[in-house]
Amino acid sequence: MKLKLGLYKLPEMNDNEIISLIKDQKICRIAFIDEKYPYIAPFQYTYVNESFYFHFTNYGKKIDIIKNNRNVCVSIEQLATDLKRFHFVTFQGTLLEVKDINEKQHVLSQLASEGSKKFSKEFLSAHGLDKDKSWKDLARKKDLLIFKLGEIKNIVALGSS
């Protein structure tokens, strides 16, 4: 006897649910396209004027990869401890370096403000700062790399009902 198992498809999230998820969470994972295998790493993000922004340190594997390929997939998720509720959204797009000083400063201030409310000072090391610094020091830095997710080609947003 063959059992027929029904396939359950996760419901798609609506626009309000997606925006809520983006605003509630502040850590994403970015998948970079390396030569043979994807490389994925967590990053703090901010969402300003309907755009995602990220601060990258100017060293490490990600920098080597984006010199050759700026196409990425950004994933944001929200998981209940017992996984009774879960939601995730992915955005496929291209990283664009922010060169405008005013835009950069606004993004850094936003990252620092959100980080100070949600994360420990220990997390500043992910931004390349000593843990004895403050979140205000992040906002004051002038030589940091800021990237924006542009040219979004695909969005997938699913979750539990």
Query: CA 112, CA 121: separation in Å to the nearest integer?
Result: 11
Q: Span 45-65, mean pLDDT?
A: 93
| Residue at 63: amino acid letter | I
Strand duo 86-97 + 51-56: pairing: unpaired
pLDDT value of position 93: 98
Q: Span 100-128, mean pLDDT?
A: 91
Higher confidence at residue 120 or residue 5?
120
Query: CA 53, CA 45: separation in Å to the nearest integer?
Result: 6
CA-based angle 32:59:73, to the nearest 5?
15
User: Domain 15-159 is of which CATH architecture?
Assistant: Roll (2.30)
Question: Taking 90 as the threshold, does the pLDDT of residue 160 lie above it?
Answer: no
pLDDT value of position 19: 94
Higher confidence at residue 159 or residue 83?
159
Query: CA 69, CA 63: separation in Å to the nearest integer?
Result: 10
Tokens of 154: 């695909």
Question: Taking 80 as the threshold, does the pLDDT of residue 1 lie above it?
Answer: no
At residue 119, φ and ψ (nearest 5 deg) are -125, 155
Query: CA 120, CA 130: separation in Å to the nearest integer?
Result: 12
Using 50, 70 and 90 to split pLDDT, how confident is the model at 129?
A: confident
Using 50, 70 and 90 to split pLDDT, how confident is the model at 138?
A: confident
Tokens of 128: 């390349």
Q: Which of 137, 140, 46, 150 is nearest to 97 (CA)?
A: 150
Q: Which of 96, 139, 95, 132 is nearest to 115 (CA)?
A: 139
pLDDT value of position 6: 65
